[in-house]
Amino acid sequence: MTDRVYPSAKPAAAAANPAFPATKAQLYGATRPTYRPQPHHRRRSKRGCCCTFCFWLILTVLVLLLLIGIAGTVFYLLYRPHRPTFTVTSLKLSYLNLTASSTLNSRFDVTVSATNPNKKILFAYDPTSISILSGDVDVGDGTVPAFLHGKKNTTLIKTSIVSTGSALQSDDASRLKSSMKNKNGLPLKVNLETKVKAKMGKLKTPKVRIRVSCDGIRVNLPSGKKPATASTSNAKCNVDVRFKIWKWTV
C-alpha cells in the first residue's frame, strides 16, 4: 500500500485585500476635509425691533401719565380748584318789536352775578360776548369788557343789549311771533362766551374758552314805557369748558 505524503506546510492564504486601482469615490473621500458644524448665528428680525420699540414707547407713555397724575394730585391738594359760578340776577325788557318785514328792534338790561369760590385762584377774563335767545332765535347781542375776578369774590356783570334793525329769516320771525303770544311770557336764554385764564401767584394757566348757558327765564312784553322785569327765579346756568384741538372745538 502506497503511503500518501501530506504537505508539511499550509498553502499561503490569499491576500485579503487584493491590489485593485482606487475608485473615484474612494479618492474623493480621502481628500475631502472632515465636516465640522459651524455655530448658527440668528439674524435679528424686523419684528423683534418693532416689538422692542413698542415696549419702550408704551413704557414712556405710562411714565408720563404717572407723572402728570402726580402733578395733578399735588396741584389739587395745594389749590383745591373750583369752577366759577354764574347767575342771572336781573333782566329787564324795555321793548321788543318785530315789523312786517321781519326786522327786529329790542333792548334788554341784564345783570349777571359771577362768583369765584377759590381761596388761592383768581380768574382773568377776556371781553365777554353776551347773546339773548328766544328758543333758537337771536334777539340781542352785546359785549362786556375784560375784567379780573378776585379770590372769594362776587362780581356783577351789567350791560345793556340793544338790537336795531336786525333782519330775521322768515322761519325765525314766525317762531318769534308765536313765542311773543305765549300767555306764560316770552322764554329767554342768556349765553356768555369768553376766554379765561387762572392765576395762582406767579403761575398762570393758558387761556381756555368757556360758555355759560342760562336757561329758564321768562318775561312778558312791556305794555307801556316802563320796562318789564323778567322772572329769573328758575334760571339755571351751566358752565362748559371748551378746548380747541387743531381745527375742532371740544
How many C-beta neighbours within 10 Å does residue 250 have?
9
- Confidence check: pLDDT of 94 > 70: yes
- Give the tens place of pLDDT for each residue, 10-63: 555 544 555 556 565 555 555 566 656 655 555 555 666 788 888 888 888 888
Locus of grid cell 312786517: 100
Of the pLDDT bands very low, low, confident and very high (cuts 50, 70, 90), residue 125 is very high
The CATH classification number of 85-242 equals: 2.60.40
User: Contact, 91 vs 49, CB < 8 A?
Assistant: no
User: Contact, 81 vs 122, CB < 8 A?
Assistant: no
Of the pLDDT bands very low, low, confident and very high (cuts 50, 70, 90), residue 219 is very high
Per-residue pLDDT, averaged over 77-95, amounts to 87
Residue ranges of the domains in the chain?
85-242
How many C-beta neighbours within 10 Å does residue 144 have?
18
- Confidence check: pLDDT of 207 > 80: yes
Burial class (CB in 10 A: 0-12, 13-18, 19+), 14: exposed
How many C-beta neighbours within 10 Å does residue 158 have?
11
Per-residue pLDDT, averaged over 111-126, amounts to 93
The per-residue pLDDT for 144 is: 94
User: Contact, 165 vs 206, CB < 8 A?
Assistant: no
How many C-beta neighbours within 10 Å does residue 143 have?
11
Tell me the percentage of the chain whose pLDDT exceeds 70: 75
Q: Is 130 helix (H, G, I), strand (E, B) or coil?
A: strand
Give the β-pairing of 137-144 and 85-98: unpaired
Burial class (CB in 10 A: 0-12, 13-18, 19+), 94: middle
Q: Is the pTM above the cut of 0.85?
A: no
Per-residue pLDDT, averaged over 87-91, amounts to 95
